[in-house]
Amino acid sequence: MKRCCIIVAGGQGLRMGGDTPKQFLPLGDKTILMHSICRFHEFDPDMKIIVVLPREHIGEWESQIQKYSFSIEHNVVAGGKERFYSVKAGLEQAENESIIAIHDGVRPFVSQETIKRCFKEAERTGMAIPFVEPNDSVRIQREYDTVSVPRKDVRLIQTPQVFRSELIKGAYQTGYDAMFTDDASVAEAAGHKVNLVPGNRENIKVTRPEDIIIARAIYATNFK
């Protein structure tokens, strides 16, 4: 089956508190976004790779490609204001592929095993969403207080979220909803049961300034 990966790098870097969008931060010999692209290219060098970026960042991305002599072929698409619109723009470029992975550009440590597991399961059932269980106790904020939730019932959701093409394209025919924090929630709203598979713990989302410390540490130990 022909595979495609949409890598969404729409972040404005606001939560990181700096001027540089977090996907553009260096991590060893590449930027975070380049590492994320490499993971999928490693898995299947024939996979079509679509990178969705805010229009105003495309120039910066092109100069980074020059600077780092980054040679993995990919299409660049201008994204929208919300992640939902960015994925939608990416899906329009996925024309002939039967399985589509949607991945956060700021998850550079997804393992080959996780990618393989997600594609295999999505080919079989239509959808595969990777997760890990938290090691911490979990509480949920209610109106005036927090309540405890059994840790064994909690799933921390990662990407790549992988789907059969017709399923996810159909689901994205809907309008934007603030509840859509990921692609699983869009598929769910279209009536599909969310199918979870194990992810890998190093597959963190580099979101806040402190995450960079952990990301550099994981990179230094595992990828250098």
Q: By CB under 8 A, is residue 141 in contact with its own copies?
A: yes
Q: Least distance to its own copies from the beta carbon of 56, Å? A: 24
Q: Least distance to its own copies from the beta carbon of 215, Å? A: 9
User: How far, in Å, are 145, 156, 157, 159, 205 from residue 140 at the CA level?
Assistant: 8, 14, 16, 23, 21
Residues 6 or more apart in contact with residue 222 via CB below 8 angstroms? 109, 202
Give the residue among 2, 66, 82 at the shortest CA–CA distance from 34: 66
**CB distance 211 to 18 below 8 Å:** no
Residues 6 or more apart in contact with residue 141 via CB below 8 angstroms? none
Q: Which is nearer to its own copies, 74 or 155 (CB)?
A: 155
Q: Which is nearer to its own copies, 42 or 113 (CB)?
A: 113
Binding residue for its own copies (CB under 8 A) from 17, 145, 175, 191? 145
Q: By CB under 8 A, is residue 116 in contact with its own copies?
A: no
Q: By CB under 8 A, is residue 220 in contact with its own copies?
A: yes
- Distance CA(176)–CA(174), nearest Å, equals 7
- Distance CA(149)–CA(141), nearest Å, equals 11
Q: Which is nearer to its own copies, 29 or 56 (CB)?
A: 29
Q: Which is nearer to its own copies, 92 or 177 (CB)?
A: 177
Binding marks (x or -) toward its own copies, 55..94, rule CB under 8 A? Answer: ----------------------------------------
Considering only residues 148 to 207 of the shown chain, the ones binding its own copies according to CB under 8 A are 148-158, 179, 181-182, 184-185, 188, 193-194, 196, 200-202, 204-205, 207
**β-bridge pairing 196-198 and 146-149:** unpaired
Count of beta carbons in the 10 Å neighbourhood of residue 138: 15
Give the residue among 8, 90, 97, 21 at the shortest CA–CA distance from 59: 21
Per CB under 8 A, residues contacting its own copies are 131, 134-141, 145-146, 148-158, 179, 181-182, 184-185, 188, 193-194, 196, 200-202, 204-205, 207-208, 210-211, 213-214, 216-222
